[in-house]
Amino acid sequence: MSEHISVIGGGIAGLTAAIASAEAGKSVRLYEAHRTLGGRARATPPPYVAHDGAHVFYADGPHYPWLRRRGFVRDLGWPSPTDLTRIGFRVDGRIRHLPPTPMLRAQTRRWLTAPVDLDFRTWAAGRWGDIAAEQMANAISVTTYDADTGRLSAAFVWELFQRVFGPRIPGIRWVRGGWQAVIDRMAAHATELGIGIETGARVDELPSNGPTIVATDLASARRLLGDESLTGTSGHSMLLDIAVDFRRCDRTSTFDLDEGGFHESYTMQDATVAPSGESLFQLQMPVRTGESHDDAGRRLADFAESVIPGWRVRATFRRTAVAKGRTGALDLPGHTWRDRPAIDRGNGIYLVGDMVAAPGMRGEISVNSALEAARSAVAALSPTHR
CATH number for the domain spanning 153: value is 3.90.660.50
Question: Are 284 and 339 in a shared domain?
Answer: no
Question: Are 255 and 115 in a shared domain?
Answer: yes
Count how many domains the chain has.
2
Question: Are 336 and 320 in a shared domain?
Answer: no
Mark which of 324, 350, 375 sits at the end of a domain.
324
In angstroms, the CA 217 to CA 211 distance is 19
Closest among 145, 28, 34, 54 to 364, alpha carbons compared: 54
Question: Are 169 and 181 in a shared domain?
Answer: no
Contacts of 289 (CB under 8 A, 6+ apart): 147, 148
Could you tell me the pTM of the whole model?
A: 0.94
- Residue 142 has phi, psi (to 5 degrees) of -55, -30
Instruction: Output the pLDDT for position 384.
Output: 60
For residue 274, the enclosing domain spans: 79-175+236-324
Q: Model confidence at 14, in pLDDT bands (50, 70, 90)? A: very high
Burial 187-210, CB ≥16 within 10 A → b, else e: bebbeeeebbbeeeeebeeebeeb
Question: Are 278 and 294 in a shared domain?
Answer: yes
pLDDT digits (tens, 9 = 90+) for 209-255: 899 999 999 999 999 999 999 999 999 999 999 999 999 999 999 99
Q: What is the CATH number of the domain that holds 185?
A: 3.50.50.60
Question: Are 27 and 157 in a shared domain?
Answer: no
Q: Region 98-102: what's the mean pLDDT?
A: 96
At residue 386, does pLDDT exceed 60?
no
Sheet holding 344-346, edge to edge: 196-199, 28-32, 5-8, 212-214, 349-351, 344-346
* % of the chain with per-residue pLDDT over 90: 88
Q: CA-based Rg of the chain, rounded to a whole angstrom?
A: 21
Mark which of 300, 324, 348 sits at the end of a domain.
324
Instruction: Output the pLDDT for position 271.
Output: 93
Q: Model confidence at 382, in pLDDT bands (50, 70, 90)? A: confident
pLDDT digits (tens, 9 = 90+) for 339-353: 999 999 999 999 999
Question: Are 245 and 226 in a shared domain?
Answer: no
User: Which residue type does 249 have?
Assistant: C
pLDDT digits (tens, 9 = 90+) for 42-58: 999 999 999 887 778 88
Question: Are 23 and 115 in a shared domain?
Answer: no
Helix axes 12-23, 363-381, angle to 10 degrees: 30
Question: Are 212 and 110 in a shared domain?
Answer: no
- DSSP conformation class of 70: T
Mark which of 301, 324, 347 sits at the end of a domain.
324
